[in-house]
């Protein structure tokens, strides 16, 4: 699988990062089968968080033997010092590791959350202390709001960012303008770029709210593109936008299809980007909701 430089971390990331959210409510034997696939396909990066229970324990079993094979990014939804400390040390224990390659602020979607985390008594103090102790190497941030990430990069020297990107989002003029500004800033600071929701088609709508997760066609909160051809063109488009790596969807079937699509990334000049952007008019970009 193709590897790309993750900004100034200098890590050469596989173009697919394994999103451990696929392990929500999964048994260890199911997780172990996925590990064999990741090793076979050359995936060398894992994204995990406490909220994806029991993903940390599932991945933690692998770390006992395979820690050196993976760039491990863990995340926290907590914003205040004591809560971040509890999350960070709990994750180290559950993941059976003595350090994270990167530790990220997860889903920071409001200005208040960002300012709380970076301000007095905020969780960033714990993260920086942990970095000075060798418990983590790099600091990242994820958000569904691109203007928030622009603000974050101007407030703190993050090593990597993570945000949604797909051809439907990109076709929206406002989203694309924010994306271009964010990418210019990221390049100027040599920040690694990770994306999520690369194969998202649209929101599930009422079906999602009225149907148990295990009865949905896929265990993703959005409706995905799902055929091999659709996934290939969606992933090719995203990987043509100068990003480092795309995080796999939280569904085992889609994971396999994304890995298949990533085996041979199409050259940029072979991708009919204009046709995809025209097609995007059929869909509405994903709607993200935030706490006030």
- pLDDT over 90 (residue 266): no
Mean predicted confidence (pLDDT) in 207-229 = 81
Q: Report yes or no on 221 lying in a domain.
A: yes
Q: Determine what percent of the chain is predicted with pLDDT higher than 70.
A: 96
Question: For strand 222-224 and strand 71-76, is the pairing parallel, antiparallel, or unpaired?
Answer: unpaired
Is 135 within 8 Å of 97 (Cβ atoms)? no
pLDDT(291) > 70: no
Q: What is the mean pLDDT of the chain?
A: 94
**Measuring CA to CA, how many Å separate 265 from each of 15, 17, 43, 236?**
9, 15, 14, 6
* Residue 242 tokens, joined: 């100068």
Three-state SS for 253-275 is HHHHHHHHHHCCCCCHHHCCHHH
**Chain segment 151-196, per-residue pLDDT in tens:** 999 999 999 999 999 999 999 999 999 999 999 999 999 999 999 9
Given a contact cutoff of 8 angstroms between Cβ atoms, the answer to whether 146 and 177 are in contact is: no
Residue 67 lies in a domain: yes
> How many domains does the chain contain in total?
1
Q: Distance between CA atoms of 245 and 44, rounded to whole angstroms?
A: 11
Per this entry, what is the length of the chain? Answer: 292
Q: How confident is the model at residue 213 (pLDDT cuts 50, 70, 90)?
A: low
User: Helix (H, G, I), strand (E, B), or coil: what is residue 31?
Assistant: helix
Residue reference for tokens 């173009």: 15
pLDDT digits (tens, 9 = 90+) for 150-160: 999 999 999 99
- pLDDT for the residue numbered 292: 39
Neighbouring residues of 148: CB distance < 8 A, sequence distance ≥ 6: 108, 109, 110, 111, 114
Q: 29-71: per-residue pLDDT in tens?
A: 999 999 999 999 999 999 999 999 999 999 999 999 999 999 9
Within a domain: 256: yes
Pair 25, 57: CB distance under 8 Å: no
Q: How far is CA 62 from the centre of its chain?
A: 20
The pLDDT of residue 5 is 98
In a domain, 289, yes or no: no
Whether the predicted pLDDT of 28 surpasses 60: yes
Residue 229 maps to a domain: yes
d(CA 47, CA 7): 17
Domain contains 251: yes
Helix (H) or strand (E) holding 161: strand 160-164
Range of the structural domain that residue 19 is part of: 3-282
pLDDT tens for residues 72-127?
999 999 999 999 999 999 999 999 999 999 999 999 999 999 999 999 999 999 99
Residue 135 lies in a domain: yes
The whole-number pLDDT of residue 205 equals 74
The share of the chain scoring above pLDDT 90, in percent, equals 85
Q: How far is CA 55 from CA 27, 126, 157, 268, in A?
A: 9, 23, 29, 35
* C-beta separation of 140 from 106 below 8 A: no
Cα gap 22→53, rounded to integer Å: 10
Distance CA(92)–CA(84), nearest Å, equals 12
Output the domain CATH number for residue 142: 3.20.20.100
pLDDT at 238 over 60: yes
Q: Which of 64, 67, 66, 248 is nearest to 162 (CA)?
A: 248
Question: Is 292 domain-assigned?
Answer: no
Q: Is residue 26 scored above 80 in pLDDT?
A: yes
Backbone angles phi, psi at 145, to 5 degrees: -115, 115
**Residue 107: φ, ψ to 5°:** 55, 50
Grade residue 136 by pLDDT with cuts at 50, 70 and 90. Answer: very high
Query: What is the spatial distance between Cα 229 and Cα 233, in angstroms, rounded to a whole number?
Result: 6
């Amino acid at each position: 699988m193709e590897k790309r430089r993750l900004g100034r971390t200098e890590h050469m990331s596989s173009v697919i990062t394994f999103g451990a959210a696929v392990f929500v409510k999964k048994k260890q034997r199911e997780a172990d089968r996925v590990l064999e696939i990741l090793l076979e396909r050359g995936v060398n990066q894992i994204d995990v968080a406490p909220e994806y229970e029991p993903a940390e324990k599932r991945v933690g079993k692998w770390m006992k033997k395979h820690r050196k094979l993976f760039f491990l990014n863990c995340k926290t939804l907590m914003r205040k010092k004591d809560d971040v400390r509890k999350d960070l040390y709990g994750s180290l224990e559950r993941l059976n590791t003595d350090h994270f390659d990167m530790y990220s602020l997860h889903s920071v979607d409001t200005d208040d959350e960002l300012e709380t985390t970076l301000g007095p008594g905020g969780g960033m103090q714990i993260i920086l202390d942990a970095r000075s102790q060798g418990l983590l190497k790099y600091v990242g941030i994820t958000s569904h709001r691109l203007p928030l990430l622009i603000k974050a990069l101007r407030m703190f020297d993050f090593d990597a960012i993570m945000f949604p990107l797909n051809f439907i989002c990109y076709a929206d003029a406002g989203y694309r303008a924010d994306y271009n500004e964010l990418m210019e800033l990221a390049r100027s600071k040599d920040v690694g770029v990770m994306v999520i929701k690369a194969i998202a088609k649209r929101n599930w709508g009422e079906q999602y709210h009225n149907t148990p997760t295990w009865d949905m066609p896929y265990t993703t909160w959005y409706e995905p593109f799902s055929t091999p051809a659709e996934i290939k063109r969606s992933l090719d488009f995203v990987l043509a936008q100068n990003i480092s790596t795309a995080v796999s969807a939280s569904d085992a079937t889609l994971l396999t299809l994304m890995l298949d699509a990533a085996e041979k990334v199409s050259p940029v000049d072979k991708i009919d980007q204009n046709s995809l952007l025209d097609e995007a008019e059929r869909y509405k970009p994903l709607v993200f909701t935030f706490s006030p």
